Amino acid sequence: MNGLHLIADLHECQCPPGRLLDAPSLESFCVDACQRHGLTVVGRLFHAFQDKHGQAAGVTGTVVLAESHLAVHTWPEIASVTLDVYVCNFSGDNSHQAQALFGEVITWFSPSRLEKKEVARGHLGE
Amino acid sequence: MNGLHLIADLHECQCPPGRLLDAPSLESFCVDACQRHGLTVVGRLFHAFQDKHGQAAGVTGTVVLAESHLAVHTWPEIASVTLDVYVCNFSGDNSHQAQALFGEVITWFSPSRLEKKEVARGHLGE
């Protein structure tokens, strides 16, 4: 279960605003990106929120991977996104794939400000 | 988007082994626990893995919340679980609910050894 959990909070995203609003497009992008980086998608669930006026108000989504998960939440009203990419290394060292996927998703949103963390998971079990 | 992300790696789980193997039961428990602690479930996705002999080999699942997400991955072969509970405080301070949910899920698995982390999310945006 040892693995790498990459965490980012993205602020002042300069991408087209629709990227934080359009759940099907975000889902396609995330699933394609996971597959492109060699990870195994076993499911995906994206939900579009609406505000009290019925307007699009952000997306929350997860891609469930054989290697763990990607989670993304968008906050279009403040042009911000939170991102998690967590991969275990059960089937081999997937850290490189995780870093590449993480970088690609961040680039897609094009944040002006970014806070990143890396958390090593599961190492107590060794 | 400010929020609290609680991370735990659970080792030597003393609960009945089926809790790490039975995806529908784990899904029901997680969804019920989220709701019991006042969080709003907008979706759930649980996947049961099989080993090469067709035997149950762990579960990965996420509960997508209006307040962000819960993610759980089980590793029955080493009696371990990884858990994430991430709640934003968009609609009010949900930290107390997150801590209570996190504690309940950990107790359910009954680990002998536990590593926990708390990550504050999104504060750069304030």
Contact call for A124 and B66, based on CB within 8 A? no
Give the neighbor-by-neighbor strand order of the sheet with B111-121.
B41-50, B56-65, B68-75, B80-88, B3-13, B111-121
pLDDT at B124 over 80: no
Q: Summarize pLDDT for A63-80 with one digit per residue, the tens.
A: 999 989 999 999 999 999
Domains and CATH numbers, chain B: 3-121 (3.60.90.10)
Q: How far apart are CA B34 and CA B32, in angstroms?
A: 5
Burial B52-63 (b: 16+ CB within 10 A, else e): eeeebbbbbbbb
ipTM over 0.95: no
Contact call for B1 and A68, based on CB within 8 A? no
pLDDT at B18 over 50: yes
- Percent of chain B residues topping a pLDDT of 90: 84
Amino acid letter, residue B17: P
Q: Summarize pLDDT for B84-95 with one digit per residue, the tens.
A: 999 998 778 889
Let me know: does B62 contact B74? Beta carbons within 8 Å.
no
User: Which pLDDT value is given to residue A116?
Assistant: 95
**Which residues of A are the active-site residues?**
68, 73, 88
pLDDT at A126 over 90: no
**How far are the Cα atoms of A40, A61, B65 from residue A71, in angstroms, in the given order?**
15, 6, 12
